[in-house]
Structures are given as C-alpha cells and as structure tokens.
Chain A
C-alpha cells in the first residue's frame, strides 16, 4: 500500500507563497494590468491632491476665475483617469481572483482522483470537501481583498521612503530602523498566528468531516439515541475550533496596534531628534516640518498593509493544506502496455507490438496486507484461462473482496505477481487495465443524472441503442420502462428512489455496456425478493457469457456453473476444484454448502 506521505514538507511560508504565486502567474497579463492600473490610480490620487497647492499658490498670487477654472478642470481630468483606473483594476481583479481559485480547485479535484484508495479509506469525506470550500474560499477572499491593496501600499511605502531619504538621510536612519523593527515584529507574529490559522483550517476540516459523516448516518444516530453523545463530541470539536480561531485572530490583530504604536514612537523620536538638529542648526524648521509630514504619511500604507495580514495569513494556511494534498503521490501508474478496442476486439499494444487480448489471469504467490503486519493474503496462486469462471467462496473476511481489489490494482501487492495475458499488471497502464476489467460491486453507486446516463457510465460513447441493449442483457429493461420517464428518469441522491434489486440490475447493465473481456462480480447478498433475484441471476448469466469471470459468490447457481471454485479461509486457498469434486471432499466447502440444508 503506498504510504501517505507528501513528497516534501511545505511547512514554510515561502514555499506556500511561491506556489500560490505560480498559480497567479498563469494569469500574469491580468495581474500585470492590475499592477499597472493600481500604479496609475495611486499616481493620479497623489497628483490630484498635489494640484491643490499650485492652485492655492496661484490664487494667493492674485490669479482670477479663469485660472481657477483651468486648475479645477485639469484636476478633474486627472481624477477621472484615476477613477477609471480604479474601476479597471478592481474589475480585472474580481475576475482574475476567481480564475486563480478555479484553477486551484480544478487541480485539486484532478489530483484527488489519482490518489490511491487508501487515502479515501482514511479521510473523512467532509474533511476532503473542506479543501474545496473553506480552504479555497480563504484564498479567493485574500486575493479579492488584499492583492491590489498590497501593491498599492507597497508603492506608496516605496515612494515615501524615497522622499524621506532625499529630504534628510540622517533622520531617515531612525525611520528605517523603526520600519525594520516593525517588519521583525510582523514576521514573528505572522509566524505565530499562521501556525494557529493552520490548526484552525485543520480543525475546520475535521469538524466538516464529523458533520458530514453524522448527517449521512442520521438514521443510526437516531436509532441509538446518540444525539446527546453527538452533541458532546461536536461540542469538543467546536470548542477546539473556537480556541484555534481566537488564538489565530488575536495574534494577527496584535500587529495593527503594535505597528501603530511603533510609528507613533518613531514620530516622537524623529521630532525630538529633528528638533535638536534644528536647535543645533543642522536643519531648518521648515524642512523638519515637511519631513514630519512625510513620516506621518508613510504610516498609513503600513497600517493598511498590516490590516490585510489576517486575510493573507488565513489564506496561506488554506493554501498550505491544499498544496499538501497536491504534493501527495498519486497511485503509481508506470505501466506502458496499453489496450485498444478495435473492430476485431481488444488488443494489447506494447510499443510496436500488438497482441489480441485473451483474458488469461494468473496469481503467482501473491501476498498482501492492508496494514503493516496484518497479512490478509498469504502467497495465493491461481489461474483463470480465457472464458473460465472462477468462483470464490468462504466465510466473511476470508479475503475474497481483497482479491478483486488486487486484480483492479486498487492496492499494490507486496509479494508475488499478478499476470494478465502473461503481462505483469504493474506493466500495464492503469487506465487500460481497469477498462479491460468490468466490475459489479456489492454497493451500487449511482450518480445524479438520468438512468440512461448512469448506465452509459460504463462506456461513454455507447449509443442509446447500445445502452438499451445492455439493459436488456441485464434484465433491467422492463423495470426501467415502467418508470415514469423510462430511461430519462432522474436518479436522486444515490438512487434513493430505487430498490436495492433495481440498483443491482443497473450495475449489471453498466458492466454490460462496457463489454469488458474480464469480469469481476461481487455478488450482492440477498435483500431482494425472489422475482428480482431471478432477474439478477439471468442478467448475471448473460453478462458472463464469453468472458473470463471472477465471482465472489453467494448463490449456489453461480457456484455450480463455475469452472473452478476456490474456498478461501483466513487468506489462504484451503480447497479448490469444481462443485462435484469439492462436495466429494467433504471439507470446508461441504460444510458451507450444507449449512443451509441442515435447517430444513
């Protein structure tokens, strides 16, 4: 089983930020445009405000209405450009930020599906869903609210800093030292609070997982009077979430007062030092006054920058979780042999060579365990020649379903080999392997959509005629036609409007439309009435014709018709042979078989 360890530990801020930037890089023209327009808007704002002083000066010099009107018109023109630029960048950003999050969600989904089943076995659905909503949302919020203002404030900071240096470099040393102090504090506090934001997003995922799992299992909750106990568990998780959120937010919000205080202190120190310089005669009162105006101005963008910090930090925490998932290794798929379905049937293609597919499957000393140390299969060997039916019987938990999982390569074996037409399945491209295997699982999963779409899930290019033909093979056609809208009846919430028997028939139809050379059937256990049972049996029989079949059997008829029966017990094949041979052995099979009749 592939280990669930990410290939690297993206615990550092820089890595996450860089990765996020690379997503934004895909929309670099939009972002360049935003940067440009932000610059224009900042400039226009400064220039417009600056226009006040020449106008006032002019008026002081005795200019009349004409001068005033001209001045106001020029300012109006500058402001108009500024407003248009602001409109432009805010509109572009609103769209670009959604595109970035769209890309992230798309990659997330694509990558998620390549993860091995063991990932899904060990993660709650709600927890995974939280990536798409809670985590992705923090990113889009941050981009929407903060990106443009970070650029804007950055420009303003750079601008005022240059002015400060030009005006008085000695005083600027004090100012810059205090900026450095602010940066240090912000960095320290950002680290601390991001740590909490990480835990907050994680707790949110856990809570999401809990809510989802319990909502899905509501009936069991009710039957066991577990509402109160659930409230307690929920309360614990909710409390954890509250604590993490409070800590993260409290840390992040200390930055604003800290920065404000430092800037006030700086102002006081600069005024004092400047004052002494004036007293000492190294500066004039006028130059000090204008210098101080700039020092004051420089604090506003810094404050605003800090105010964006909690958005940015929580988004980085969300991004980090997402990237951790994106960095997990997907299912290994190194196989090169591919499968083609031509007019003459299925064919293997290994480089140049092309061989018709027969459907010969062999297990050679296969050993496997889901968890380290808990061996499920011990060196199993068996074979199925093309067109043979192999049935697995045995008490529950003997390892029957595991064998099916291994042929599909849902999990990788530890020892031995599984050969498909003589090719190790690890050499076969995963998609090709699975396409050549039809599977009917015990639990039929239906998707939101019509009955027709659900059958067509087996082969997407199947025509309506082929879908209906498959339904006939599965003996599902007659019940489908009786539904209010026939094949176009909508399946709602995992097929709640269909009986379990009908669901099984649909699963058979789905496998039939795929027309695979090898078939794996995990026969569903009863819960259907005798008539449906008959239909299912007939459907299965027709489906099995001409294919290599592995069947996890619960029905005597299936077992009787099998070419070979494997009796599994605790991960070993304890008996094998056909029905007659096994009955004659009077071993485990005989016991299982007679278990039923002992009653009558």
Chain B
C-alpha cells in the first residue's frame, strides 16, 4: 500500500483532474438516485391521477436531469482519462529519469527486458486500475451506505443480517487477495522472462537463421510461453473465485431474508410490501459490494506493479556526484595514482592493481596488452564509468570524483570497443557529439574520421537511415562514424578503445594521421595491432592488471620481452 500511496504523489497537476472526476461521479450518482424517484412520481401521481400537465412537467424534469447527467458523465470521461494517462506518463518520466542516473551495476541488476516492462506493462496495469476501478470506488460506497441506511431505517431487526454477512465477506475477500497478491508478482516476473527470450532471439536473428534454428528457438519460446500461460491461468483462476464467492454470499443473504422475513410475516410483525422493498435495498448493497470486490482485485494487481515501479525509483545509483562539483576542466592531462579496481566485492581478483601513470596534456599514449589485462577497464575509469576501488584518477589535476559527471564526460571522448549506433539518420547519430553541429562541422569530423569518402557515395548523404543498430553500414563504416561522433565533442581527451579494428590498415593510417594534427588533445589508443600504437609518444604495456612496462616503441623493443614477442608475431603473421 505504501508503494501505491507513493506513486499517487506523482499525480502532480493531475491531482486536480482526479478530484474533479471524483466530484463528477458523485454528482452523477446523485442524479441516478433522484431520477427513479421522479419516474415513480410520474406514474404514481401523474398517470394514476390522470393529470396530463403534471406528467409532461415531470417528463421534462427527467429529461433535464438526464441531460445534466450526460454533461457530468462526459466531463467525467475527460477528466478521468486525463488523470489516468497523465499519471502514467509522469511515473514513466520519473522512472526514466532515474534510470538515466543509474550506473552499470544498477542496470545489470534489472536487465533491459525487465526495465522495459516496468516502464510499459506495469504502468498500464496502474492506469487500468484508475480507468476501471475509480468509478465503482466512488459510487459503490455511496450506494452501499445509502442502502444500509435505508434498510436499517426500514427494519433494524432484519438489517442485522448485514452485520453477520459483512465480516464474512471481508474475511473471504482478504483471503482471496492474500492468495492472489504474490501470484501477480510471479506473473509480472514471468512476463519479464518471456520478454528476455524474445529479446535474445531478436538480437541473434542472423545466427538463428544461418543455423536454421527457428524450430529450436520456438521450443525455447514455447517453454516460457507455457510458463506464462500457467502463471496467468493460476493467477486468474484464483482471482475469479471472487465472483462465485460473492454471488454465494449474496444468495445466502437473500435466503436468510426470505426465511426470517417470511417468519416475521407469519408472526405478523412484518408486512410483505416491506419485505419486497427490503430485498431491493439488500440487492443494492450486495451489488455495490460485488463492485468493490472487483476494485480490490484491480488494486491487488496494481500493488504488484507499483512495487516493481518503486524498485526502479528506489534503486540508488552507484555513482553519485558531489554536492558542489567542479565544472571546468583545466586541460587534458590524466593521472592514475596507485589505482586499484575490482568490478564487484565478490570478484576473486582485482582487475587493476597499483596503476600509477601520468599523461601530459596533448600527449599520445598507446596501451597494449593481452585479453583480460584490464586495458578497457583502465580507460573507463577516466570517464568515470566506474569508480576506483582504491587510489585516484585525476583529469586536469582534479580527482574525477570531484567533477560534475556532465563536465567530465564532455571533456573526455571515448570510442568504445563495442560500438553502437542508434536507429535514425547519420546526422542524428553524429549530433550525439554536438547537438548544434552544423553540416559543415559534421563533414569536417567525418573527413578526419575517414567517413567522408563513403558518406559522399550515399545518395542521401547525412540523411541516410542507419537502420536498427546501424545495420545498413558495414562494421568498418560504423567504426568510422563512431570516431566522427566522438570528434564532434571537441574533447580534451580522446580515447580510442580498439575502435578502428574493422577498418583496413591503410584507412586506419589516414585516420591516425588526421588525428595527430588535432593539437592539444590527449589521445589514448588501445590496440592489439602494434602498428596502431607504435608511433605514440609512450606505450604502456598492461599485463594481468599491472603496468609491465612504459616506453617508446624503440625503447620497448629493447627492454620488453612481452612487447618484442607481440611485435615479432605480428610481423610474421602480417595482419592485413
């Protein structure tokens, strides 16, 4: 319930709409109570007395009230819809903005498929609760109270039946809700699982098709699909017991009334007219209870979703900014001071150990080392994608943790090993680097990154659509676009994490030469190819998370056996 209360606070400006909607249902309900009494008047007094004038007058009154009811009803539709969808949109916005603050461990904790359902499906459940539950939630208590009031005033003795039956209903409802509530949680989780399988299939669709594994994937999907079906069946069949249970109570009530009321009639303490009248009220009371019980089920379901949404909102981002962060970065110098890093507390070994390295602004550094030596990890600390476990990383002479994340990442451009372009045009993608870049600036960056040549050949040029994940361009073209995107940031530090591996050596050389002309920019190259790093001012050799050696190409050829071994194997293999 706390979760739901908390989410209700996200109504914001829509609180007003919900209040108006409440008022409107209230008015509408009163109309519905007034109109039947007018009808009774029309027949009992007008027709019975043969008074045509009275009949027409009452008829006109009824029509007037009906039109008023229509007006309130239409207004309700508007305000309630605004409130429900406005609320949903605000929660979604809050969730998304929270997710933007997440660090990677936070995201890994939820998995993307679950994040997606928590921002869509779960919110739909909440909206449905308002759409379908709000009206009965307002109406039913009114009807219920009025019904009970009238029945007590009519015959207090018979009305005691309510006193017996109501707690019974309460207990039954409580039992159902208690049983169903955890099932809804399981249900939503199963939906996440199904989503995950579909996501995996979509991502690997080329492999699936190449190995003709559609049938196999269908079986895999069939399993989660069957699991979801079972969860859905179990949950729903437990929830719908609500219906016969309430019907049974209602019938029991009627039977008791019949018997005791009938006895009273026989004893002469009750008129039959009263008995039939009483029954009408009883039906009204029970019907409203039935409606309320449906609302309770809707609420139970939305509680499960509310909890999942609150989990997103409550997740504490692992990386936090200081209260008073530094916003300007003096220069592109980078310093590692006795840096130690491990990905998680449970990790068996440190990924980086005692890294100490000082890079001058404008220097070109190459980093080389075997798989798993910690190269990518090391540069990701500069951008503060992760925080050091021990020691400190400084950019421009200031600890990266003292900067505002925005300023830091604005000054450091990193081209990741796993390059990603997003669906949209080339221009959309490149403008990630600089939202206001002119076409001229974009072309300039593309020229440096060696992307101009092929872009000029595309008939649509910068307006070429890249397709989902950039499938419309080749691997090497993608990498060059990613370099151009990073250059548009005009960074002080440029990090290329093996980001030209799919580009042929001749083109790569051109790109590197162009990059060298950008003076004052610190450049850090991570590579497997010696040819990529050999012209750097200094080359750092990482081995098992430690710096094994630092020096220029010729120094290292002399002093480092590791470097010499790599060099020789590459010269021999002649990587194209």
Contact = CB atoms under 8 A, between A and B. Distances in A.
A243 B423 CA distance: 24
10 contacts: A79-B254, A90-B237, A105-B228, A106-B221, A212-B199, A242-B85, A278-B47, A525-B475, A555-B573, A600-B531
Interface in B412-449: 413-414, 416-418, 420, 422-423, 432-433, 435
Given A117-B209, A215-B99, A447-B204, A52 B501 contact: no
Given A125-B202, A249-B81, A140 B232 contact: yes
Given A86-B247, A218-B107, A204 B266 contact: no
Interface size class of A (residues with CB under 8 A): 35 or more
Which 9 pairs, one residue from A and one from B, show the smallest C-beta to C-beta distance? Answer: A257-B73, A396-B476, A253-B77, A445-B204, A595-B506, A529-B370, A556-B574, A249-B81, A245-B85
A257 B77 CA distance: 9
Nearest to B84: A249
Contacts of B263: 65, 68
A64 B266 contact: yes
A382 interface: no
A94 B99 CA distance: 36
Given A109-B221, A137-B121, A499 B372 contact: yes
Contacts of B73: 254, 256-258, 260-261
Interface string B246-282: 0110010011001100110110000010011001000
Contact of B477 (A95, A218, A397, A457): A397
B528 A397 contact: no
Interface in A514-556: 514, 525-534, 537, 553-556
Interface string A188-220: 000000000000000010011001111111111
Contacts of B432: 220, 224, 226, 229
Contact of B576 (A105, A122, A132, A393): A393
B485 interface: yes
Interface in A210-262: 211-227, 229-231, 234-235, 238-239, 241-243, 245-254, 256-258, 260-261
Contact of A310 (B48, B131, B217): B131
Interface stretch (B146-154, B464-472, B514-522): B464-472
Nearest to B553: A600
Nearest to A300: B287
A26 interface: no
Contacts of A591: 506
A493 B66 CA distance: 60
A224 B485 contact: yes
B120 A72 contact: no
Interface stretch (A420-428, A434-442, A468-476): A434-442
Contacts, number: 497
B395 interface: no
B459 A83 contact: no
A211 B52 contact: no
Nearest to B92: A238
B225 A239 contact: no
Interface stretch (A53-61, A154-162, A165-173, A360-368): A53-61
Given A90-B244, A241-B89, A275 B43 contact: yes
Contact of B266 (A59, A219, A243): A59
Interface string B463-493: 0000111011111110010000100010000
Contacts of A23: none
Contact of A397 (B32, B76, B473, B527): B473
Nearest to A528: B371
A272 interface: yes
Nearest to B467: A121
Given A97-B236, A117-B209, 10 more contacts: A124-B423, A211-B115, A242-B89, A248-B81, A265-B62, A370-B472, A395-B504, A526-B501, A570-B457, A593-B576
A381 interface: no
Interface residues of B, number: 179
A243 B86 CA distance: 8
B195 A289 contact: no
Interface in B98-148: 99-102, 104, 107-108, 111-113, 115-117, 119-121, 124, 127-128, 131-132
Contact of B262 (A55, A99, A257, A528): A55
Contacts of A278: 47
Given A79-B251, A86-B247, A133-B195, A374 B459 contact: yes
A272 B59 contact: yes
Contacts of A220: 416, 420, 432
A153 B258 CA distance: 27
B452 interface: no
A412 interface: no
A559 interface: yes
A529 B371 contact: yes
Contacts of A460: 216
A102 B229 contact: yes
A592 B502 contact: no
Contacts of B229: 98-99, 101-102
B116 A98 contact: no
Interface string A88-119: 00110111011101100110011001100100
Interface stretch (B5-13, B329-337, B356-364, B562-570): B562-570
Given A124-B423, A257-B77, A261-B73, A445 B207 contact: yes
A360 B480 CA distance: 36
A41 B218 CA distance: 40
Contacts of A68: 258-259, 262-263, 266
Interface of A is mostly: helix
A120 interface: yes
B258 A71 contact: yes
B175 interface: no
B422 A217 contact: yes
Contact of A72 (B236, B255, B373): B255
A500 interface: yes
A46 interface: no
Nearest to B73: A257
B501 A525 contact: yes
Contact of A82 (B251, B406, B570): B251
A556 B240 contact: no
Interface string A587-600: 00001110111111
Interface string B374-403: 000000000101000000000000000000
Contacts of A526: 498, 501, 527-529, 575
A285 B43 CA distance: 8
Contacts of A141: 128
Contacts of A537: 573
B72 interface: yes
A394 B59 CA distance: 88
Given A121-B467, A396-B504, A211 B96 contact: yes
A79 B254 CA distance: 10
A267 B40 CA distance: 11
A121 B468 contact: yes
B240 A91 contact: yes
A271 B214 contact: no
B233 interface: yes
A541 B345 CA distance: 41
B121 A134 contact: yes
B217 A59 contact: no
A457 B211 contact: yes
Contacts of A93: 240
Interface string A70-87: 011001100100111011
B307 interface: no
A525 B474 CA distance: 13
A271 B203 contact: no
Contacts of A434: 209-212
A65 B259 CA distance: 9
A494 interface: yes
A534 B46 CA distance: 103
A133 B117 CA distance: 8
A87 B76 contact: no
B552 interface: no
